[in-house]
Amino acid sequence: MTEFKDLVQKRRSHRKYTDEEIDADDLKLIIRAALMSPTSKNQRAWQFVVVDDKQDLEKLADAKNLGSQFLKDAPVAIVVLGDPMQNDCWVEDGSIAAASMQYQAEELGLGSCWIQMRGRGLDDGTTADTVIRGVLDIPDNLNCLCIIALGHWTDERREQSEDKLKWENVHLNKF
């Protein structure tokens, strides 16, 4: 098993994938990681939509103007949702769940990339939320935080370099 210290160094965003499907057991492990992630007041109020329909993936890729087109070529995406009225920590809870899925994917040798949706949209003013809600029949009370693209990567990435870590951003006792 990959040690966590190596996993965090190896994890990079992957945006190019083969056509190969993701094994169902692997996908389940990835979702399990989200469902085991910590949440404020242990609310576990997030919702996830697993999307493997090619046409829907293409529509989701067009939900914002930049940084999501590669979703068209991902075999699977996980849409991370929360209810801002029910949970004041929906962004934090969703973020931890999303990152947990990315680390589980990395451990399985799969590529992933976070696609930001909260606060994003199209040039004509349409929000990404509006597009996503329409494509996936999401109830009005839920907002989309992000979409995690998953796949067997083809874009080799270098592991993170120890020399580039921003240790200067870490302060001891006082800033």
- Interface residues with ligand FMN (CB under 6 A)? 12-13, 15, 67-68, 113-116
Report the C-alpha gap between 6 and 99 in whole angstroms: 16
Find out whether 77 and 55 touch, Cβ atoms under 8 Å: no
Judged by beta carbon, residue 45 or residue 145, the one nearer ligand FMN is 145
Judged by beta carbon, residue 13 or residue 130, the one nearer ligand FMN is 13
Find out whether 132 and 79 touch, Cβ atoms under 8 Å: yes
* Shortest distance (Å) from residue 44 CB to ligand FMN: 21
Find out whether 17 and 152 touch, Cβ atoms under 8 Å: yes
Judged by beta carbon, residue 28 or residue 38, the one nearer ligand FMN is 38
* Shortest distance (Å) from residue 174 CB to ligand FMN: 28
Judged by beta carbon, residue 28 or residue 159, the one nearer ligand FMN is 159
Tokens of 84: 């801002």
Tokens of 37: 């992630």
* Shortest distance (Å) from residue 66 CB to ligand FMN: 7
